[in-house]
Structure 1
Amino acid sequence: MLDAAIKVFAEHGYRSSSMDAIAKQAETSKPMLYLYYGSKEELFLACVTRESGRLIDTLEAQIAPDDSPKLRLKKVISSFLQFVESNADSWNVVYRQAEAEPPFRQTVTSTRRMFIEMTAELLKRSTSDTYSGEDAELIAVALVGAGEAVADRVANKEVDQNAAAELVVQLSWGGLAGTNSSPLPRETP
């Protein structure tokens, strides 16, 4: 049912999708759909929750402590963009539609926060520079934001996923290699 719902939501958007269309796509009855998911809102939230979890699990599976820092970065970025390419409907539902709808925005924000924390932790463990927690988080915010923008282009088939992954790895690794070990300067108010 969730796969059918994602397909319908991706095609028509959350607001324009009907439980009738989702039931038809799922080859089930509308009452059965309501039995499992009490409302369209609950069904959409179930889609967002499942797909967010799948993406997080995919990325966490790529983090191997024995890999070199650059290989870790490459594996995470590549698996992220492969997931988006293979699950473009999920990406569009989870990250674009859910973010635009107030009832679901918090779920997207929580997932993004997990990506940022995961990235900041990778930065702290993967670079020879010593980043404060604040600096690592700020760099992670920039990397995650850039990754989401590239993912949108991959999901819309505007760019080749493999070429995009390689470019993002080069940009990220080159940028990180160019930093020095002193913390970022802070302005005092």
Structure 2
Amino acid sequence: MGAVKSKRVPRAVREQQMMDAAVLTFARRGYRAASMDEIAEVAGVSKPLVYLYLNSKDELFSAVIRRESEALVAAVTAAVEPGAPADRQLWSGLKGFFAHTTENPDGWAVLHQQARTQGEPFAREVAAMRAEIMTFVTALIGAAAKEAGCDGELADREVSALAHALVGAAESLAEWVNTGTDEGTSGERERPAPRDTAATLMNFAWAGLGRLIGGGRWSPEG
């Protein structure tokens, strides 16, 4: 009897296996230190096959950034409750964000720690993802102001600034959750659930945002 032939893995499946291996390697080794040899080993394929499918380390890194960016944006937008009040939409979007970044810590590390610090074109890829999320959050805050009847009192510039502050806070919290440690302390701490992290940010941001939308403003004059 002839030898049994192994089942041929479809190209799309093989590419995803290599991309998964690349995400893990880039996240844990860093872009500069990661090698195509190591990525091939983690994926269980030959180095020439990685080059055949994904061309170069730079192109592979760009492909990883695009895939992880698309997955993050999709997770946030899919989590939002359509037709719900603005605060519920923001709450559900934050839960989706923190759930995704908690479940995919390597992907988040690639986007937040690696891609943003490696210059062009990688930083531009991440900036495009952030701009998409920023537009989404800006629309939610604008909708909240409109619901409260004060959309004319919050200028577009102020709404945009609030969106940038909120997205930046969410990114910082995601980093804090995924590192599992606090500065100035030793040892790991218990990581909060995505729902709890989202509630923390809503309590911090929406209490002030809700007051602002309701007409209350802080003044340095008191």
What is the TM-score when the length of structure 2 is the normalising length?
A: 0.78
Provide the rounded CA distance (Å) in 1 between the counterparts of 2:213 and 2:98: 29
Which of 191, 197, 203 is the equivalent residue of 1:164?
A: 197
Aligned to 2:28: 11
Answer 1 or 2: higher relative contact order, Cα 8 Å, separation at least 6.
1
More helix by share: 1
Which of 99, 111, 118 is the equivalent residue of 2:136?
A: 118
Deviation at 1:181, TM superposition (A): 6.2
Matched, 1:31 2:54: no
Secondary structure of the structure 1 residue equivalent to 2:130: helix
Unaligned runs of 5+ in 2: 1-17, 182-190, 218-222
Over aligned residues, Cα RMSD in angstroms? 1.7
Matched, 1:57 2:74: yes
Runs of 4 or more off by more than 4 Å in structure 1? none
For these two proteins, the number of residue pairs brought into alignment is 184
Provide the rounded CA distance (Å) in 2 between the counterparts of 1:102 and 1:65: 37
Matched, 1:87 2:108: no
Aligned to 1:187: none
Matched, 1:43 2:60: yes
| Structure with bigger gyration radius | 2
Provide the rounded CA distance (Å) in 2 between the counterparts of 1:64 and 1:72: 5
Deviation at 1:180, TM superposition (A): 4.5
Matched, 1:98 2:77: no
Unaligned runs of 5+ in 1: 185-189
Verify the 8 A CA contact 2:79 2:95 in the aligned structure 1.
no
Aligned to 1:150: 173
